[in-house]
Structure 1
Amino acid sequence: MTDVLVFAPAPSLTVTVEAHPSGDEVHVHAGGQGVWQARMLRRLGVSVTMCCTLTGETGTVLRHLLDDEGVEVAAVERAGRGPTYLHDRRSGERVAVAEEQGDPLGRHELDELCSTAIREGIATGLVILSGPDGDDALPPDTYRRLAADLRTAGARVVVDLSGERLAAAVGGGVDVLKVSDEELQDDGLVADASPQAVMAAMRELHARGAETVVVTRASEPLLLLDADGFLEVTPPQLEIVDTRGAGDSLTAGITAGLVRGETVREAVTLGAAAGALNVTRHGLGTGDLETIGRLRELVTVRTLDEPAGLDEPAGRVSPDGLAALATPAPPEEITS
């Protein structure tokens, strides 16, 4: 039995071509949000099972790549096209040669995937629900059902989602929700990224089913809200190579802290350190445990008072955002 289950419904096969002094260099990796989270968890010494679909030839390759990274795979295998991309970076810029989101899950495949997630989630007791590569891979309401069922079965649920998937998961109830202020704006949950607006949205998400809400704010300190109030968490500011994967490393670090028996308020410092190191690297969800541990000592935390006027209308979640949260999207029709 592993420590954590990562629900990653549709991971990607990524192929990148880069220039090398002696000729072209081709890199083949497993990719996608759940993969990056699992990769960082492994760097932090946490054992991981990934619940996913493996589709066609790309799925066969993905299984080998995940095995090589030390990730146990609980997969639904199927024929068809899986999420894949081929990028050419020989010019120094990322040029998409081919990109494929893959085939949506059929009704029976989705049933099998959810059953696998519940079974493995009960075994680990701690689950990250991550999004698929491809907007149409599965209905958003899947996340509401999984969050509710896993918590009913006694598992803790961490989610790193946005849009309809975020709304659905919160409707089912989650232990930890991680989201960025940019995603809150894109989803219409805040009118702007001011601290007052973001904190009001966090209050609303907490009231609607997220026990702890963590919001990242680009180069600004991240914010945490739980039953005891707000925290401001400031990681060390390091030189940025690539910001992609930083949020997923944060989520993985928080989850690793929970595995160690820490509270979320304690675990968020590990997550902040993991995210801080990840931006200094080209590899997404990468880093080493010793460096992350040293960076954790540089993370500062302070309690925030409830800001004046938090309950005023100007600081609240927008009406459209409230409607989206109050009424999770209905299940979409899925072909068998």
Structure 2
Amino acid sequence: MSVTILAPSPTLTVTVEDHPQGSEIHVHAGGQGVWQARMLRRLQVPVTVCCLLTGEVGRTMQHLLEDEDVTVHALTRDGRGSAYVHDRRGGERIVVDEEDGDPIGRHDLDDLYAAMLRSSEDASVVVLSGPAGEHTIPADFYRRLTIDLRAAGKTVVADLAGERLEAVVAGAVDVLKVSHEELKADGLVAETTDEEIVTAMQRLRAEGAGAVIVTRAGDPLLLADADGILEVTPPPFEENETRGAGDSLTAGVIAALTRDEPLRDAITLGAAAGALNVTRHGLGTGDADVIESLREKVAVRELPSGDADDREPEGRVSPDGLAALAEPEEDER
């Protein structure tokens, strides 16, 4: 079964790294939807990315995406595309420049909407990812698209925050993934305590979301569905790069859903994919066999109502143990 991802405005990523002979420059397609697509391909799931590619940046990204064996259903336009240049030669990420790109106009939005409906005709799961920048695409686009895709019989998964989160919940999205930081930034929780997060998840379900996944950085993630609350604890690794881990988690969940696994089983593949991604330089990367082996180490337990704080401490995986599982990615994606 295949997956279609809405990636409204992918980002061209340029990263400068240290090299024994001098600086090494890496150029890749990036952004939320792209990182999700990359992990899905690692998990052997056919993926179509539906996007709007802008200017020189967009023309470059189309080739980069196709080189990763991703089917690209792209609309093109002139203008400024989304891109960034980051310098990591000193070990930390220094932003040289970042550009969200031009907002998407009304006519291009209409064409993108139609392209999503067309490119998802054969997909079993459709993923709605966010754009680069807050003003690139209006939130109501996501509400309408969620309604129409579900009416067409698609399973709709969204990884969004802010007004776009509210929009897909209003459209009755099947699975919503959000981080605890985003819940707080959106005013859905005052503090990121277990009790407040669980209450917010239940509220989002009452307002229309079928299931809600909340990631919590180094803490166990939570899943709320019709059967209650699950606490999911992946093996905790030393972090090399946290960016892209949530997108890898989302992709892992989606990959399992395409195999007709129940969501409560699918969450373990997602947790394993997200856990491995933090050990690597490449965003949305990881070996499928390693992810499957890590899946066996994911701990899942049902949380009784009001008992979200009743957790036992978890052990850590040693650096030597991790080295046996995965090697670092050669380049930044």
Q: Compute the TM-score of the two structures, normalised by the length of structure 1.
A: 0.90
For 2:57 and 2:180, how far apart are their aligned partners in 1? 34
Mapped contact 1:212–1:224 kept (Cα < 8 A): yes
State the Cα distance separating 1:93 from its structure 2 match. Answer: 2.9
For 2:235 and 2:90, how far apart are their aligned partners in 1? 32
For 2:184 and 2:297, how far apart are their aligned partners in 1? 30
Q: What residue ranges of structure 1 are gaps of 5+ in the alignment?
A: 310-336
State the Cα distance separating 1:95 from its structure 2 match. Answer: 2.5
2:190 aligned residue: 191
Q: Does 1:238 align with 2:272?
A: no
2:20 aligned residue: 21
The one-character-per-residue Cα deviations of 1:83-137 (angstroms, maximum 9, x if unpaired) are: 0112222233323222211111111100000111112223213101000112111
Alignment of structure 1 residues 151-190 onto 2, 5 Å: 151-190=150-189
Alignment of structure 1 residues 1-336 onto 2, 5 Å: 3-307=2-306
Mapped contact 2:124–2:258 kept (Cα < 8 A): no
Q: What amino acid is the match of 2:264?
A: R
Runs of 4+ in 1 over 6 A off after TM superposition: none
Query: Which secondary structure does the structure 1 equivalent of 2:22 belong to?
Result: coil
State the Cα distance separating 1:25 from its structure 2 match. Answer: 1.0
State the Cα distance separating 1:308 from its structure 2 match. Answer: 7.1
For 1:216 and 1:96, how far apart are their aligned partners in 2? 25
Q: What amino acid is the match of 2:244?
A: G
The one-character-per-residue Cα deviations of 1:14-51 (angstroms, maximum 9, x if unpaired) are: 11122211122110000100010000000111010000
For 1:119 and 1:137, how far apart are their aligned partners in 2? 22
Mapped contact 1:122–1:150 kept (Cα < 8 A): no
Between 131-140 and 285-294, report the one with greater CA deviation: 131-140
Query: Which secondary structure does the structure 2 equivalent of 1:45 belong to?
Result: coil
For 2:222 and 2:40, how far apart are their aligned partners in 1? 22
2:319 aligned residue: none
The one-character-per-residue Cα deviations of 1:274-329 (angstroms, maximum 9, x if unpaired) are: 000000111110000010000000001111111179xxxxxxxxxxxxxxxxxxxx
For 2:121 and 2:207, how far apart are their aligned partners in 1? 24
For 1:301 and 1:93, how far apart are their aligned partners in 2? 34
Q: What amino acid is the match of 2:58?
A: G
Q: State the Cα RMSD in Å.
A: 1.2
The one-character-per-residue Cα deviations of 1:128-150 (angstroms, maximum 9, x if unpaired) are: 10001121111011110111110
CA 1:219–1:91 in structure 2 vs 1: closer, same or farther (change >3 Å)? Answer: closer
For 2:87 and 2:278, how far apart are their aligned partners in 1? 21
Mapped contact 2:129–2:158 kept (Cα < 8 A): yes
The one-character-per-residue Cα deviations of 1:183-227 (angstroms, maximum 9, x if unpaired) are: 101100011111111111001000111111111111111111111
For 2:244 and 2:205, how far apart are their aligned partners in 1? 25
1:330 aligned residue: none
CA 1:20–1:150 in structure 2 vs 1: closer, same or farther (change >3 Å)? Answer: same
Q: What amino acid is the match of 1:158?
A: V
For 1:207 and 1:23, how far apart are their aligned partners in 2? 55
For 1:285 and 1:107, how far apart are their aligned partners in 2? 31
Q: What amino acid is the match of 1:135?
A: E
Q: Compute the TM-score of the two structures, normalised by the length of structure 2.
A: 0.90
For 1:37 and 1:122, how far apart are their aligned partners in 2? 20
Query: Which secondary structure does the structure 1 equivalent of 2:238 belong to?
Result: coil
How many residues of Structure 1 are paired with residues of Structure 2 in the alignment?
A: 308
Query: Which secondary structure does the structure 1 equivalent of 2:44 belong to?
Result: coil
Mapped contact 1:122–1:154 kept (Cα < 8 A): no
Q: What amino acid is the match of 2:224?
A: L
